[in-house]
Structure 1
Amino acid sequence: MHILLVEDESSIRDVLKSYLIKEGWDVLTSCDGLDALKKVKKIKFDLIILDLMIPKLSGEEVCKAIRTTSNVPILIISSKSKEEDMIKGLNIGADDYITKPFRIKEVLARINALQRRIEMFTQKTNPIMSFNRNSLVINFESKEVFKDGKLIRLTVTEFKLLDALLKKPGKVLSREDLSYQVQGYRFIGDGRTMDAHIKNLRKKIEEDPKNPLYITTRIGSGYQFNFESDKIYVV
C-alpha cells in the first residue's frame, strides 16, 4: 500500500513514518497543503493520512480538493478534538478521524481496517442493481453509482455503507452494526460519526436528502434501505 502522510510536526511525522514502514507500507511525506496536492496530482496513493492544521493550505481545503477528483481513502489525524470537528471532517469527505494525542496501535488498527475496506471495494461481486427506472444504478463490479445517468463519486466508506445496507434488504441496521460492517470496528460515542456518513451518502443519491426515499431512519433502531416503499421500482 502506498501512503501519503501529510503532517508538519516533524516529531509526529517521523514516528508515524517509521511505524508505517515497519508494517511494510511505502510512505511519502508532505509538510504543507500545497505540496500535498501536488503529490496527489502526480502520484496514485492508496491512502492519505492528513493533519488539518498544516501551513499554506489547511487540511480541510486539501481534503475538499482531493474529493473533487478522487475517492482515495483519507484518514484525518488532528488535534481538533471536538465532536463537531470530527463531524465536519467526515462531512468534507474523510473516511475516518483520529484525534491527537493518539496511540500508534490505534492508528495502525484504523489503517488496517481501511485497507480491508479497500480490498473489499476492489473485489468483484454482484453486477448491477437499478432503482426507479434507472434513476439510481449501482454497479457492484465497477464500484460505480449513477444518479439520473450521471456518475456519482462515492468515497470507499460511502460505497461500503451502501453495500452493507443493500446486502440486508429491508433490514434495519443499527449504527453499531453499520460501523462494524463498514469500518471494521465498533464506534465509541453516540453514533454521530455514522450519522455523518449517512448524511453524506443521502446528499449524493437522494433527490431530497431531508425526505429520503432510499435510506430511511428507524428512530431508536438505525437505518435501512427502503425496499418496501411503493415508490421504489427495483430492476
Structure 2
Amino acid sequence: MRMLHYWTGLAATALLALLVAAALGIFGAAPDAHLVAGLFAAASTVGAHALLIVFMLVSGRIVREAMRTRPLPAELLDEHNRFFAHKRAYPAAGLGAVAIVATGVLGYARHGFGWSPAVHMLAGVVAVLYNAWAFQQEWRALRENQQLLDRTASSLDAIDRAHPEIAAAAAEARARESFAPAKSWLIVGISAWMPYLYWALVVWRGDFSRMAGWMLPATIAVSVLALLCAWLTRGVRTALE
C-alpha cells in the first residue's frame, strides 16, 4: 500500500469522527459521549494533517538529496520546483488543525467566559466543513506528490542502471549521514504517556480515580497516532545536509 492509501484511511476516519462528534453535540447527546467523540475526532484530524505535512517534508528532503547526487532531467526538476513552490497542502492542513483545536477550546467558553453554547456549535460546524474541504485539497496534493515521486524513482532507477558509480556514491553518502523519522515518532508515542503518569503517580500519588476523565483517552489517542506514524515511516531514511 502507498502513503496515499494510509492517509486516506486516516482522513476518512477523522472525517467520520468529526461528523459523529458534531451530531452528538448538535442533537444534545450525553456530554461525556460528545467529549470523548470530540477528543478522538480532534486527535485523528490533527494526526491526519500532521502525517501529510511530515510525509511532504520527508519526501521533499529525499528528492532534494536525489537532485544533489544525480543528474535528473531538467523537465522533472522544473516540475518539482513548481510543486514544492506552491505548497498547497500546508496552509490547508495547518488551518484545519487550528480550527479543530479552537473548536475544542470554545467548548469550555461557556464555563470560563459565560459564552453561549451556540458559539461552540457554530465553530464546530465551520471546522467540520473546512476540514472536509481541506482533506480534499490534501488528497489531491498527496496524489500529485505520489505521482511525482513515482516518476522521479523511475528516472533515478534509469540513472543508476546507466551509471553504477553514481548509485554507489549516493548510497555511501546516505549511509554516512541519515535520519530515520520513525524513531522520532516512536519517541513521541512513548513520551505522550509522561504527563499522564506524572499526574497519576506524582500529583495524585497513585490514585488514578482522581484523574480527569479526558486525560486517558487523549493520551491513548496521541500515543496511538504517533506510533502509527512510526509504523508508516518504518524503513524510511532521509539524508541530512
Both structures adopt the same fold (TM-score exceeding 0.5): no
TM-score normalised to the size of structure 2? 0.23
In proportion to residue count, which structure has more strand?
A: 1
TM-score normalised to the size of structure 1? 0.23
In proportion to residue count, which structure has more helix?
A: 2
- Pick 1 or 2: higher relative contact order, CA cutoff 8 A, min separation 6: 2
Structure showing greater Rg: 2
